[in-house]
Amino acid sequence: MDSKKILSVDDLLSLSDGDLQELLNSITFEQGLALLEQLVQKVESGQLPLEIAVTSYEKGVAVANKLRALLHQAEERVRVVTVSEGGVATSS
């Protein structure tokens, strides 16, 4: 799955679970954030049938979880750099 091709909500909603996982494994934070914003906008429009709204929510949760993991990885990298530069890691 080429993450550069899958950047529309309609494409995201049509993915199988396996293809969604493949996309999430290759997506950048910025791509995921853009998809999540589009999903939220689409669901909040109130124009979706219930089943599609629920599917959108489910896939949005998967994207949000991926974004959370990417943020955690970035925070860990910053912490390691801070500690290696003689700083003291602090918990927030």
Residue 62's pLDDT is: 96
Residue 25 resides in a domain: yes
CATH code of the domain in which 13 resides:
1.10.287
Residue 91 resides in a domain: no
Residue 82's pLDDT is: 82
Mean per-residue pLDDT pooled into runs of 10, the chain (92 residues): 65 91 93 94 93 94 97 93 70 52
**Sequence-separated (6 or more) residues with CB below 8 Å from residue 29:** 67, 70, 71, 74
Count the domains in the chain.
1
Q: Which domain holds residue 45?
A: 9-84
Residue 80 resides in a domain: yes
Residue 51 resides in a domain: yes
Residue 55 resides in a domain: yes
Residue 6's pLDDT is: 55
